[in-house]
A and B are shown apart, each in its own frame.
Chain A
Amino acid sequence: MRRYLIQDVIGSGGMGAVYRARDMHFPNAVKLVAIKEMVSSTNDPKVNQMMIKNFEREANLLVTLSHPSITSIYDYFSIDQRAYLVIEYVYGKDLERILDRLTDFIPEDQVIKWAIQLCDVLDYLHSHEPEPIIFRDIKPSNIMINRQGNVVLIDFGIAKTFQIGQKGTIIGTEGYAPPEQYRGEATPSVDIYALGATLHHVLTRHDPTIEPPFTFEQRKISSFNPGVSRELVAVVEKALSYDASDRYTSAREMKEALIRVGHQTGLLSGIDALLNRTPGADLSLARAIDPSSDQLIKPVWTFRSEDEIRGSAVVLEQDVYIGAYDNNVYKINASDGRFVWKFPASGGIVSQPAVNNGTLFFGSEDGKVYAVRCSTGKEAWSFKTGGPVRCSPYLAEDHVFIGSDDCNLYALTQAGGRPSWKAETMAPIRSKPYVTDDRVVVANMNGELLCTDTAGFVKWRFSAKRSILCSLAIDDDGILYFGSLDATFYAVDAKTGWPMWRFRMDKGSVSSPVIDEKFVYFGSADGKVYCLNKSNGKQVWASTFSSQISGSPYINKTHLFVGDAQGLFYCLKKDSGEVEWSYQTGGPITSAPVSYNELLIFGSADKNLYALSI
C-alpha cells in the first residue's frame, strides 16, 4: 500500500470507491493512477466469494485488452476483505458530468466522432477471441472524454464474455438497457442499444433513466433538438429498435453507417481529421444518395389561373373545381388538367367550394354566396351577405351553412338560396362550420366556438383566446378538433362544449386538422406538423420545417401531404413524420391537397394548380 498515495476520492458506490492516487514507484515523476476498491460488507461467504470473483474477472478481462478507448490495467491485489484494481488514470470528465453542466447541445460532428469511437471499441470487444466481450452497461457515466477529446470506456465491472445460448443475470442500467437484457440476454446487440440510448441522451439532453422504460420512439430526437441531421437520427433510431433483429447486426456496421452520416451531412472532413481515417468506400455510398432528388418529381399536369390560388379544390367524378383570387371558379379535367369552364364572380375566391346534386356552392370576396351548375358553369342563384365570404360552405339538411365577414352564420336553402335563418356572432366567420342533424357548430375570429340548434338558438359557447380560422374536424365520438391563433390546439365535446384537452404549440395554427384512426394531424405557424393522440392530446411526433405550415394536411394509407409558406409541398411518413420527398412550388401553399385516383391536386400562391402522382 505504500506504493500508492491516495489523493482524492473520484467516485463511490455501494461496493466500494474509486480513488485517484500517485504511484510512488516513480518518485521523480507524477504518475497518477485510478484505484478501484471493492469492499465486501456482507458476512455471507458465498456472496463474498461471488463479488471477489467478479472483481477478479474484471481484472483478468482488462489485462488481455489493448485499445485506445480502454484503460490499461497496472495491478491487482487484495487486503483483508478489500480488493483493489490499479488502472490507468484518465485525465478528463465523464460524459454524464459534461451533459449535466452543458447549457446547449453538443455539436453534431463531435457526437458523431464519439459515436464512431464507441462503435470502434465495441467492435473490438465484440470481436474478442475466443469469446466476444459484452460491455452490458454503456451509459454516459461509464464513458470518459479524455483531454484529447477522445472516448475511453471505464468500469468493466459487469462486462462478460458471450456464449451463444447462455443466459446471464439481469444487469445493466434502466433507461439504457434494452428489453431483452431484462430476460437475462447479453449479446453484442445489447451494447448497440445502450449506445443508441446514450447517443439519444447526448443529442436531446434528456436522461432516459427518468423516463418510462423503452419510450425512445415516443421521444423523437427532432422534437428536443431539431438541429440534428435526419441521417444521424436514423442511425440512432435503428440502434434503438425494440427488436434486436432490427438493430445493426454489429458495432462495425453501425460505425460504417455513422461514417456515411459524416459524408451525407458534410461533417466528414472534420471527422476524418479527428479519426485520421480515410473511409474511401463510403464516398460511393454518399454519392448514391442524390441530394437533388426533389427535382426529379414532375407534376402530371399543372393549370395556371390569373391570380393566387389560396383555397382547396373539390373533386366530383372526373373533374376538379377550384376557386382563385382572379375571381374565377374553374372546372378542370382531373386526369389531364384540361380547362372545361370558368365562372366569374365579382371578387376573389379564397375558400373551398362544396358540391351536391350537380351544383357547386362557394363564397367570394364580393360578399356573395354562389350556386353554380356543375355541368354548364351557369349561375343557379346568389345570395348577398354584408361582408366578404371567406368561409367554406358546409352542406347538410338541404341547406348551405356558411359564415361571412359580416359576423353572421347563414343557413341558405340549397334549392333557391333563401335564408332559413342566420345566427349573429360577434366577429367575422372564416372557419367552415360543422353541422349534425340537431346542431350547428361554428367558430369566429374572436376565438369563439358557438353551438346552436338547427333553428339558430345558442346551446353552448366555448372561447379560445384568439381567432379560429381553420375548419373544424370531428370524430366518431363527437369530439371537435381545431387550432387557434392563441397557439393552442383544442379538443371539445360537441355535445356539451366541454374542452377535453388542449395542446400548446409555439405559435398559432390556421391549418385544418385531419383525423385518421387514433390520431389527429395539423400544421402550425411554428413550422411544425404535429401528430397527436386524439384520446389524450399527447404528441406522437412533430416534424419541424424551415417555414410555417400554412396548408392543411391530406392523409392516405401511409403518408401525409402538406404544403408550407415557402411553397414546398412535402410527403411525410404518417407514422413517424419523416420526410420522404418534397416538391418546390413558386408561392406559399395555404390549402389542403385533394386526391383523384393516384393524383394529389393542390394550389399555390404562384397561381398554379398542381397534380402530382402519389
Chain B
Amino acid sequence: MVQKNNNTQKKQLDNSGEWNEGQDSDQDVISDPTICVAWAQALGHRYHHNEDSLFAYTATLQTEKGEQHFGCFCVADGMGGYENGELASAMAVEKMGEHVLRKIFIPMLVPNEVFGQEPILQVLENGMLEIHEGISQKIMDGGSTMTVAVLVGDHLSIAHVGDTRAYIIREGADIEQITEDQTLVQRLVTLGQMTEEEARNYPQRNVLYYALGRGDNVEPFLLSKKVTRQAYLLLCSDGLWEVVPAEDIQNIILAQREVNKITHALVSQAVNNGAMDNVTALVAKL
C-alpha cells in the first residue's frame, strides 16, 4: 500500500487584525488529483470575533483494492458568552478531526486490515458524544453546532448536531441539503405545520433542540450515502444559509466551478446579503 498523496490542513480561524466586520478575509485551497477543498470565512455584520471553526483533511491511497479516497471535513459554529463560543467550536473540530484520523484513517493505512472495528457512523456518533461531554465539562456556558463529513471510497458519512449544514451540488440536479437542522422550526416544517417561508420569519427560528455542550444529551443526525464523482460537498454555518437561498448557492457553485473561487463568491454573497452572523463555507469537489 502506498500513500500517494496526503494533504493536511487544519484551520481554526480566530479573530485577527485583518478581520473586518462583514468582510471575507481568509481562504485557502488544497489541491488533489481527485478531491479539491477550499474554505472562506467572514465575521458578519454583528460580530467582532469569529465563533466558527473548521477542519479539512484529504488523502488518496493506492492500495491492492485500487485507488481509495479519504476526506474529513468539519464546520462548527460556537455559542456562549466571552470567548466560550470560539473555544467550544475550536474544541469540537479539533477533537473530531483527531478522532476520525485515529479511528478511520490510520486503520486504512494498515495493509490487509481485517475490518471489524467501529463502523464509520458509530465513530462519528461516539466522537460527537465525547465532544458533547468535553465541552460540557470544560467550557462553562459554551456550546457548538457541528457538521462532520467523512469520505471513504464512494461513500460519504455525515454526523451533525445543531444547524450547520451539508449540501451536495451536482450538474443537472437540484441542490440537495443532506443534513436536517435540529431546530424547533425545522421539526414544524417537516411535520407540515409551518411553511419554509413562515419558518424563515419565525421569531424562534434559531432555537436548537440539540447543541454540543448544551443540555443533558445530544442525538446526532447520522447519514451515509453514496456520492458520485464530480459532485460538490458544501459544509456551511447558518451565517451563509440564512441569507443565501439554496438556489443561489447552487448557481454560484456551478458558475464558478473552482473551489477557491466558489468559497470566495459564497461568502461575499452572504456578506452582501447582510449576513449578521459569522459566515463559513467549506467546499470539496469530490
Contact = CB atoms under 8 A, between A and B. Distances in A.
B219 interface: yes
Contacts of B182: 212
Contact of A501 (B122, B184, B192): B122
Interface centre among A179, A183, A243, A462 (most CB of B within 10 A): A179
Contact of A478 (B64, B221, B226): B226
Contact of A210 (B114, B157, B216, B225): B216
Interface in A216-260: 242-243
Given A182-B193, A212-B209, A213-B209, A499 B223 contact: no
Contacts, number: 110
A41 interface: no
Contacts of B116: 462-465, 499
Interface in B91-120: 114-120
B269 interface: no
Interface stretch (A49-57, A115-123, A490-498, A605-613): A490-498
A502 B124 CA distance: 12
Interface string B222-240: 1111100000000000000
Contacts of A502: 119, 122
Contacts of A499: 115-120
Given A179-B191, A460-B65, A477-B225, A500 B115 contact: no
A210 B215 contact: yes
Given A463-B116, A535-B223, A496 B193 contact: no
B121 A242 contact: no
B8 interface: no
A536 B178 CA distance: 12
Contacts of B188: 179, 182, 213-214
Interface residues of B, number: 38
Given A182-B184, A460-B115, A536-B223, A498 B194 contact: no
A461 B115 contact: yes
A180 interface: yes
A378 interface: no
Contacts of B154: 478, 493, 495
A496 B191 contact: no
A225 to B, nearest CB: 20
A500 B191 contact: no
Nearest to B203: A170
Nearest to B210: A212
A500 B114 contact: no
Interface centre among A174, A478, A479, A493 (most CB of B within 10 A): A493
Contacts of B222: 501, 535-538
Nearest to A464: B116
Given A535-B225, A536-B222, A493 B121 contact: no
B68 A496 contact: yes
Interface centre among B116, B192, B194, B216 (most CB of A within 10 A): B116
B155 A477 contact: yes
B131 interface: no
A338 interface: no
Nearest to B219: A212
B209 A501 contact: no
Interface size class of A (residues with CB under 8 A): 35 or more
Contact of B224 (A459, A497, A536): A536
B178 to A, nearest CB: 9
B107 to A, nearest CB: 9
B9 interface: no
Interface in B128-175: 152-155, 157
Contacts of B272: none
Nearest to A490: B119
Interface string A149-181: 000000000000000000000000010000110
Given A478-B154, A537-B121, A500 B216 contact: no
Contacts of A462: 114-116
Nearest to B152: A498
Given A183-B194, A214-B191, A536-B222, A501 B152 contact: no
B10 interface: no
A460 B68 CA distance: 13
Contact of B121 (A182, A213, A477, A501): A501
Given A210-B215, A463-B116, A500 B184 contact: no
B184 A213 contact: yes
B46 interface: no
A179 B193 contact: yes
B194 A496 contact: no
B187 interface: yes
A174 B184 CA distance: 10
B184 A498 contact: no
Interface in A1-34: none
Interface centre among A212, A242, A502 (most CB of B within 10 A): A212
A536 B193 contact: no
Given A213-B187, A463-B115, A496 B192 contact: no
A538 B125 CA distance: 12
B217 interface: yes
Interface of A: 174, 179-180, 182-183, 210, 212-215, 242-243, 459-465, 477-479, 490-493, 495-502, 535-538
25 contacts: A179-B194, A180-B193, A182-B193, A183-B194, A242-B193, A243-B192, A459-B64, A459-B65, A460-B115, A463-B114, A478-B154, A479-B224, A493-B152, A493-B154, A495-B154, A496-B65, A496-B68, A498-B115, A499-B115, A500-B224, A501-B119, A501-B222, A501-B224, A537-B119, A537-B121
Interface of B: 64-65, 68, 114-122, 152-155, 157, 182, 184, 187-188, 191-194, 204, 209-210, 215-217, 219, 221-226
Given A213-B184, A536-B121, 13 more contacts: A179-B188, A212-B182, A214-B188, A243-B192, A459-B64, A460-B65, A478-B154, A479-B155, A491-B224, A496-B153, A535-B223, A536-B221, A536-B223
Give 4 nearest A-B pairs by CB, closest first: A499-B119, A463-B116, A179-B193, A536-B222
